[in-house]
Chain A
Amino acid sequence: MPRDVRVATTAVERRAPVVAAVPGTGRTGRLALGAAVTAIYVFLLAPVAIIVFSSFNPTEANTFPPTGLSLRWYAKFFESAGFVAAFRFSLWLALVAAVAATAIGFLTAYGLVRCWRRGPGVVQSLAMLPMMVPHLLISISLLLALMVVPVPELAALIVGHVLICLPFAIACIVASLEGIDAQLELAALTLGASRLRALWEVVIPLVAPGFLSALLFTFMVSFGDVYIALFLSGPGRTTLPIEIFAYMQWESTPVVAAITTVQILLIIGLGLVIERLVGLRNIMRV
């Protein structure tokens, strides 16, 4: 889909979200803000950067800066059946959860944006319910439910992940849908399309960026989840974070750092793919 489609998404005038260069700020103000923002980014990324660097540490200590350069911990990671299996499982789970959450999220978002204009606030807030409940609670409750209802644990794990991912999917798709002129669907109807056809031909192509961002966010949320998996993991069903958590109870070597670096490479890879497809700018509209 061509990039300039984004520009012409609506016939209705959209207000520009961006003001040319931070306005109304003098030289010092701008410098101060720039410094503050840089400092905050350092705060945000430093621990991650440290992990990446310490993954190359030849010794077992958790020191930074690393005393040398070695790939032994990466080797250890790939050799470890447990970690590799957990990594693959996390990937698979995140994919499943992302797709499911995006699908249900789309249905919900469409219902909210097109059919619930009267009271969007309340109903939309209800859709965000899982965000307002500690994940811990969701997890324990599902575990409890498992004792009462005979459902495979894997299903409960997936459901748990879908639950915590849904609010993100909904937010992304609602943001995207709101930018689409409602009249486009009406036009398609008057031209002879059924409601479903109109959805397929008009809405879905235009919500594509929303879908992508929903998939991206939900994938990340699911992959990084600890609390749901804490109670619902099991033999053969361990996610990577849980595997790391267990490992860290006994040992604390830079293997963890190596695994994290691989994860980070994965995210960067995802980010690059999205940039190529739709452009990161267009995704980050939550």
Chain B
Amino acid sequence: MATERREVVEAGGRSGRLWLAPIALLYLIALIAPISFFLVMSVFRYSALELWVPTVTGENFARLLGDAYHRAIIVRTLKIALLTTIGCLALGYPLAWYLARTASAWRGLLMFLVIAPLMTGVIVRTYGWIVLLGSEGTINTILRGLGLVDRPLKILHTELAVLIALVHILLPYMVFPLFAALAGQDPDLERAAHTLGAGRARTFLEVTLPLSRPGILMGSALVFTLTAGAVVTPALMGGKDVRMLGQTIYELTMSTLNWPLASAVAFVLVLCQFAILLVYFRSGRRRAA
């Protein structure tokens, strides 16, 4: 089969790069250039009159990293991102495993049900959680109805609320890479482990789990990215009490109009991402080798 693959490379390879030209161009012009431009602003000076003054300065980063308030936000964002990732993994793995291994005729529908909520948009799903978790909301109504609490629990406007909502919203993004990784596994591998005497737990730990690692990494990278950059959900679920980097950027850009500082915040965000991605790629490569 290697011959065939080489041939198609031969036959199509002469113009191979041509196929990727459109996307390369698009990414360069619309993604890489603008973002680089924006990030560069982090070293420019803020001015109330213009958006930025092209003098190089480190004051934005100094402010960002020196200020306890901002540092707390960075830490909180990372913390919530990590917890959300773990939460998505904990819930997403069983789901993905089930979807990948079941023979049920409803499989297509079940998978559709996982991604369908994506379309309703972040705002609406967050709204659903507001209804659920608000002081007049469902949970509280049930709890009070059952006589478990006297006054409504304050769930909204806490980190927990943000966490729950984020896990819910980002779960599909974790399920899909996991599903792809698990479904792509040769079912004979598990059977082989069984015939060699490994119990279910053992098989899972030694065969299935390690092989699904690329899926775990991809899903985690995705969820982490999306959490770190979240604005709407933390704003609606956490309010003033739970501020994260995303909201900070939004406010700095739209209200305060301090673009250089916003850029610095974004830079820190991107830096954390790169760190995560680096881990992802390194592990992936080590596995491949």
Contact = CB atoms under 8 A, between A and B. Distances in A.
| A–B interface present (Cβ within 8 A) | yes
Contacts of B273: 132-134
A17 interface: yes
Given A117-B5, A220-B118, A256 B111 contact: no
B113 A241 contact: no
Contact of A21 (B33, B103, B168): B103
B23 A137 contact: no
A277 interface: no
A282 B112 CA distance: 11
Nearest to B273: A132
A169 to B, nearest CB: 10
Interface residues of A, number: 111
Contacts of A227: 229, 231-232
Interface in A122-152: 123, 125, 127, 129-138, 140-142, 144-145, 147-148
Contact of B100 (A17, A230, A268): A17
B16 A40 contact: no
Contacts, number: 304
The SS class assigned to the B binding surface is helix
A146 B30 CA distance: 11
A136 B229 contact: yes
B231 A136 contact: yes
Contacts of A257: 127
Interface stretch (B60-68, B135-143, B146-154): B135-143
A182 B30 CA distance: 33
A37 B266 contact: no
A44 B171 contact: yes
Contacts of B176: 286
B94 A40 contact: yes
A223 B231 contact: no
Contacts of A220: 115-116, 118-119
Contacts of A280: 108-109, 111-112
B138 A50 contact: yes
Contacts of B27: 129-130, 163
Interface stretch (A1-9, A68-76, A77-85, A104-112): A104-112
A189 interface: yes
Contact of B16 (A115, A130, A223, A264): A115
B138 A129 contact: no
A47 to B, nearest CB: 3
B18 to A, nearest CB: 8
B238 interface: no
A186 B7 contact: yes
A260 to B, nearest CB: 4
Interface string B60-97: 00000000000000000000000000000001001101
Interface string B1-44: 10011011101110111111011001100110111011001000
A133 B102 contact: no
B108 A134 contact: no
B113 A45 contact: yes
28 contacts: A12-B1, A18-B101, A18-B103, A19-B187, A20-B103, A23-B187, A25-B200, A47-B168, A51-B124, A51-B128, A104-B22, A114-B12, A118-B9, A131-B222, A131-B225, A134-B266, A137-B266, A160-B30, A186-B8, A189-B11, A195-B11, A226-B232, A230-B250, A241-B122, A244-B124, A259-B124, A267-B116, A286-B176
Interface of A: 12, 15-26, 29, 33, 36-37, 40-41, 43-48, 50-51, 54, 61-65, 104, 107-108, 110-112, 114-118, 121, 123, 125, 127, 129-138, 140-142, 144-145, 147-148, 159-160, 162-163, 166, 175, 182-183, 185-186, 189, 195, 217, 219-221, 223-227, 230-231, 240-241, 244-245, 248, 252, 256-257, 259-260, 263-264, 267-268, 271, 275, 279-284, 286
Given A24-B190, A50-B132, A248-B123, 14 more contacts: A19-B190, A24-B194, A37-B94, A112-B19, A115-B13, A133-B270, A140-B249, A140-B266, A145-B30, A227-B231, A248-B127, A264-B120, A268-B116, A286-B179
Interface of B: 1, 4-5, 7-9, 11-13, 15-20, 22-23, 26-27, 30-31, 33-35, 37-38, 41, 51, 91, 94-95, 97-98, 100-103, 107-125, 127-132, 134, 136-138, 141, 168, 171, 176, 179-180, 183-184, 186-187, 190-191, 194, 200, 203, 221-222, 225-226, 228-229, 231-232, 236, 246, 249-250, 253, 259, 262, 266, 269-270, 273, 277, 281, 284-285, 288
* 5 residue pairs, one from A and one from B, having the closest CB atoms: A134-B229, A111-B19, A47-B128, A115-B16, A280-B108
